[in-house]
Homo-oligomer: A and B are copies of this chain.
Amino acid sequence: MKTLKDLGEFPLIRAIRSRCRVDSSVVLGIGDDCAVLRRRRGMYELITADMLVENVHFVRTQQPEAVGHKLIACSLSDIAAMGGAPRHAVVSLGLPPDLPCTYVQALYRGMNRTAAAFGVSVVGGDTNSAPLVICNVTLTGEVEPNRFVRRTGARPGDEIFVTGCLGGSAAGRHLLFTPRVSEGRFLAVNVRPHAMIDISDGLLQDLGHITRGSGVAAVLEAAAIPVCAEAAGISDALETGEDFELLFTVAPAAGRKLRQQWPFPDVPLTRIGVITAGRGIRLRGLDGRLRARAARGFRHF
């Protein structure tokens, strides 16, 4: 099988370049020292990065298309959580010289398909030899100055909502999820959430980022939490990472309106609790009792 060493670095870059479609905001894409981009006037720029490392985030036997999809989709989920629209991606790769060329082709096929589906142009990057497969994407986006949504604005009385279902990542959904870009944009434009985050480390831990950052507490209703059919139980939904659903808080009046007007019939929207004054997170169990819960979830160290 033809490997990267057989192909060579510059033919690899040319092959990548020929597969990356760009839009009219791209003055200069892959192939020079930098990409050159036009930005829309009056918008703030968003920027986020995600790294995937072989044997940490994925293994060689998983479909490289799915790894490519995940790479772009992780960062799309971050742009969504700010209420922004994604624009440009820069991709760095570390690749073993004996890797089959078909692996890299499939990786880019997955990346490019997802990038195109969400209006993202891949405009540059860096290729390196490495002892294992390493992928890093930096994704930019744009958002109106008065519309971006931080993690830190939750207020007592807010209702807590989540999109989709939680706890499915253990069953493989951590590779093939749909980033909630349209949903995040709809919320930023129409609902103005007080705080929003994407669930990448687990519901409790990511809600902890909102409550600590906002100086508030939260009460979750165990009966309300939308647990994925593939999940082993509610603890998967509370503590496993990589759901990539949106978690946000809105004022009660906005919450009522939102439930009536939610325009995404395929994506469940669920009210799972309320923000209160104080500190910490409590969970009301099926027995009606409130119990304190640590903001625990996935951590790299």
Contacts and interface: CB of A to CB of B under 8 A. Distances in A.
B34 A78 contact: yes
Contacts of A129: 53, 56, 300-301
* Size class of the A contact interface (CB-based, 8 Å): 35 or more
Copies, count: 2
Nearest to A200: B33
Interface in A197-228: 197-198, 213
Nearest to A25: B45
A7 interface: yes
A33 B126 contact: no
A140 interface: yes
Interface stretch (A86-94, A162-170, A257-265): A86-94
Contacts of A150: 28, 32
A301 B7 CA distance: 8
A39 B36 contact: no
Interface stretch (A8-16, A268-276, A285-293): A8-16
Contacts of A50: 92, 126
